[in-house]
């Protein structure tokens, strides 16, 4: 890891809230949501207290991997507008503190999950932390434009961990939830990187628009979307999703494809200065299609998982023809 | 160039906040281990042959 000269200690002492920020609370909330969905879809009779503690462990494990990421990526975070206010690059927290916190919380979350649920779930959590911190952060992110494609596995595993925590097994339907998030990640992140590519270029991160250009990225967003949307409908055939899920996945998928087509036809990512200064969603007119895709992709994934969660919580039957 | 000196009052307040957060974290850990032990043990007690 090369420390940037931009990193310096501020005069303000570190507060406990700065340490909470190391855990990326917003990402943690998404992990909690998808892990709960996996756990509920497993339709097991797990003790709800143990289930709650298992979800807590999964969330802490995700936070631990985020702390490792904040420690290792402090040099490139300092160069990007979106990340330069993070605790380590802004100098609020020392990198060594972030590293120690990641290590302690990793051990804590994996061991407690093993005690609370089972060692399959704990092993999957340990693998997820390792994959995000080492394979994605330390290796893929700086070396290949396929970084978020392969690295997306770390973000896709929480529903499998939730399922495994509830049942001690990881069947096909659990991996189907994982595959949906895995295939969702490239169009989601590339849509974002189309209008933040200047930041990535400045930091030397080989995101797809930086290395292959905006036109190639737009084409790949369309290709991945064409693979992703049919995959979202597969749970209906395996008995995981019911009729409500069929409607949500099909209608939402249609909108997803329309947005992907619009990006493909647009010139998103080509002009300089894609973003204005007022937050992540404030973009120039040429990048509005990419911004819309980024925003809708979050909504679509949330709707898919919320529908599955509701169907299983209410005991609605799946369709299941396979 | 010398580093900026932190305000002693701010420093003390921040340290106190960190200490309380750490203490709460440790208490939470102890409570979680206790609860997990009781719930798991309770289930096994219920399953034993009488």
- pLDDT the model gives residue A2: 44
Could you report the per-residue pLDDT of A113-129, keeping only the tens digit for each? 999 999 999 999 999 99
Chain A nearest CA to B38, separation (Å): 11
Residues A144 and A233 in one domain: no
Interface contact A13-B33, CB threshold 8 A: no
Determine the pLDDT at residue A269.
Answer: 84
Residue closest to A184 by CA, chosen among A225, A235, A150: A225
Please identify, among A137, A170, A203, the residue that sits at the C-terminal boundary of a domain. Answer: A170
Question: Distance from CA of residue B47 to its chain's centroid?
Answer: 32
Angle between helical axes of A25-41 and A288-313 (0-180°, round to 10): 40
Give the model's pLDDT for residue A5: 42
Q: What is the pLDDT of residue A243?
A: 94
Using the predicted structure, report yes or no on whether residue A184 has a pLDDT greater than 60: yes
Q: Which of A116, A101, A26, A19 is nearest to A64 (CA)?
A: A101
- pLDDT tens digit sequence for A254-279: 999 999 999 999 988 886 655 555 56
Among A11, A17, A63, most B C-beta atoms within 10 A, so best to mutate, is: A11
CB distance A47 to A54 below 8 Å:
no
Please say if the pLDDT value at position B1 is more than 60. no
Chain A environment of B36 (Cβ under 8 Å): 50, 53, 112, 115-116
Total domains, chain A: 2
The residue of chain B nearest to residue A48, with distances taken between CA atoms, is: B39
Of the candidates A154, A64, A153, A179, the residue with the CA atom closest to the CA atom of residue A113:
A64
Q: Which of A90, A116, A168 has the most B C-beta neighbours within 10 Å, making it the best mutation to test the interface with B?
A: A116
Structure tokens at A149: 């494609």
- The predicted pLDDT at position A10 comes to 63
Whether pLDDT at B47 is above 80:
no
Give the C-alpha distances (Å, rounded to integers) separating A78 from A7, A24, A90, A208. 7, 16, 7, 21
Q: Cβ of B5: how many Cβ atoms within 10 Å?
A: 8
Average pLDDT, chain A: 91
DSSP single-letter state for residue A20 = H
Answer yes or no: is pLDDT of A222 > 50: yes
Q: Could you read off the pLDDT of A229-256 as tens digits, one per residue?
A: 999 999 999 999 999 999 999 999 999 9
For chain B, report the end-to-end CA distance as a whole number of angstroms.
Answer: 77
In angstroms, what CA-CA distances link A261 with A191, A247, A294, A301, B6? 12, 21, 13, 18, 54
Domain identity same for A69 and A98: yes
Asked if residue A110 has pLDDT above 80, the reply is yes
pLDDT at B41 exceeding the cut of 90: no
What CA–CA distance (Å, rounded) separates A293 from A46? 38
- pLDDT (average), residues A128-140: 97
Same domain, A73 and A179: no
Nearest-Cα distance to chain A for B50, in Å, is: 23
The answer to whether position A233 is within a domain reads yes
User: Which of A118, A138, A170 is a domain's end point?
Assistant: A170
pLDDT at position B31: 97
Is A295 in the same domain as A190? yes
Q: Is A4 within the bounds of a domain?
A: no
Domain annotation covers residue A10: no
Give the residue from A8, A12, A13 with the most B CB atoms within 10 Å of its CB, the best one to mutate: A13
CB contact under 8 A, A16 and B20: yes
| pTM for this model (two decimals) | 0.90
CATH code assigned at A115? 1.10.357.140
Q: Do residues A156 and A178 both lie within one domain?
A: no
Average pLDDT over residues A210-222: 94
Buried b (16+ CB within 10 A) or exposed e, B17-50: bbeeeeeeeeeeeeebeeebeeeeeeeeeeeeee
Q: How confident is the model at residue B44 (pLDDT cuts 50, 70, 90)?
A: confident
CB contact under 8 A, B21 and A16: yes
Test A108 with B29 for CB contact under 8 angstroms: yes
Look at residue A9 and tell me if it is in a domain.
Answer: no
Whether chain B has a CB inside 8 Å of the CB on A313: the answer is no
Among A14, A47, A112, whose Cβ lies nearest the Cβ of B39?
A: A47
Residue A102 has pLDDT above 90, yes or no: yes
**Which chain B residues are closer than 8 Å to A115 by Cβ?**
33, 36, 40
Residues A144, A243 within the same domain: no
Q: Are residues A302 and A256 in the same domain?
A: yes
Mean pLDDT of chain B: 86
The better pLDDT of the pair A78, B45 is held by A78
Nearest CA to CA, how far is B33 from chain A (Å)? 8
Query: Which residues does chain A have within 8 Å of residue B1's beta carbon, measured at their own beta carbons?
Result: none
User: Is A165 in the same domain as A194?
Assistant: no
Residues A40 and A84 both lie in one domain: yes
* Residue A189 counted as domain residue: yes
pLDDT at A162 exceeding the cut of 60: yes
- Domain carrying residue A218: 172-322
Cα A267-A270-A272 angle, rounded to 5 deg: 135
Are residues A166 and A293 located together in one domain of the fold? no
pLDDT reported for residue A6 = 46
Q: What is the pLDDT of residues A2-13, one digit of tens each?
A: 444 445 556 678
Phi first, then psi: what are they for A283, rounded to 5°? -120, 165
pLDDT at site B23: 96
Mean pLDDT (whole number) for A171-196 = 95
Q: What pLDDT digit, counting tens, does each position of A81-98 carry?
A: 889 999 999 999 999 999
pLDDT at A198: 85
C-alpha to C-alpha distance for A189 and A198, rounded to whole angstroms: 15
Instruction: Answer with the one of A145, A170, A195 that is the final residue of a domain.
Output: A170
Hey, of B8, B28, B39, B45, which one would you mutate to test binding to chain A, going by the most A CBs within 10 A of its CB? B39
- Same structural domain, A319 and A305: yes
Is residue A3 domain-resident? no
B18–A49 C-beta distance less than 8 A: no
Domain assignment of residue A271, yes or no: yes
Would A5 be classed as within a structural domain? Answer: no
Query: CA A67, CA A150: separation in Å to the nearest integer?
Result: 20
Are A313 and A231 in the same domain? yes
User: What residues in B contact A11, CB-CB < 8 Å?
Assistant: 3-7
d(CA A186, CA A259): 14
């Amino acid at each position: 890891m090369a420390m940037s000269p931009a990193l310096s200690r501020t005069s303000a002492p570190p507060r406990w809230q700065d340490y909470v920020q190391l855990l990326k609370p917003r990402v943690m909330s998404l992990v909690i949501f998808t892990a709960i969905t996996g756990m509920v879809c497993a339709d097991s009779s797990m003790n709800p207290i143990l289930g709650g503690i298992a979800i807590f462990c999964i969330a802490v494990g995700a936070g631990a991997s985020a702390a490792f990421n904040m420690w290792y990526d402090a040099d490139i975070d300092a160069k990007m507008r979106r990340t330069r206010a993070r605790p380590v690059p802004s100098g609020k927290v020392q990198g060594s503190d972030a590293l120690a916190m990641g290590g302690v919380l990793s051990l804590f979350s994996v061991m407690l999950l093993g005690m609370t649920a089972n060692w399959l779930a704990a092993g999957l959590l340990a693998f997820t932390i390792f994959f995000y911190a080492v394979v994605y952060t330390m290796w893929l992110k700086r070396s290949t434009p396929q970084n978020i494609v392969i690295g997306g596995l770390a973000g896709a595993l929480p529903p499998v961990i939730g399922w495994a925590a509830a049942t001690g097994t990881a069947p096909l339907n659990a991996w189907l939830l994982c595959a949906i998030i895995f295939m969702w990640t490239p169009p989601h992140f590339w849509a974002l990187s189309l209008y933040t590519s200047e930041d990535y270029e400045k930091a030397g991160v080989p995101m797809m628009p930086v290395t292959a250009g905006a036109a190639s990225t737009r084409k790949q967003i369309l290709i991945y979307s064409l693979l992703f949307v049919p995959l979202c409908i597969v749970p209906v055939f395996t008995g995981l999703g019911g009729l409500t899920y069929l409607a949500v996945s099909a209608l939402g998928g249609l909108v997803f494809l329309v947005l992907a087509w619009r990006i493909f036809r647009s010139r998103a990512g080509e002009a300089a200065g894609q973003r204005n200064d007022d937050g992540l969603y404030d973009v120039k007119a040429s990048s509005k299609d990419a911004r819309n895709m980024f925003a809708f992709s979050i909504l679509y994934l949330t709707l898919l998982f919320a529908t599955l969660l509701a169907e299983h919580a209410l005991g609605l039957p799946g369709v299941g023809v396979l | 160039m010398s580093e900026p000196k932190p305000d002693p009052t701010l420093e003390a307040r921040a340290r106190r906040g960190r200490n309380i957060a750490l203490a709460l974290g440790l208490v939470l850990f102890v409570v979680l281990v206790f609860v997990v032990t009781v719930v798991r043990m309770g289930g096994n007690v219920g399953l034993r042959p009488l």
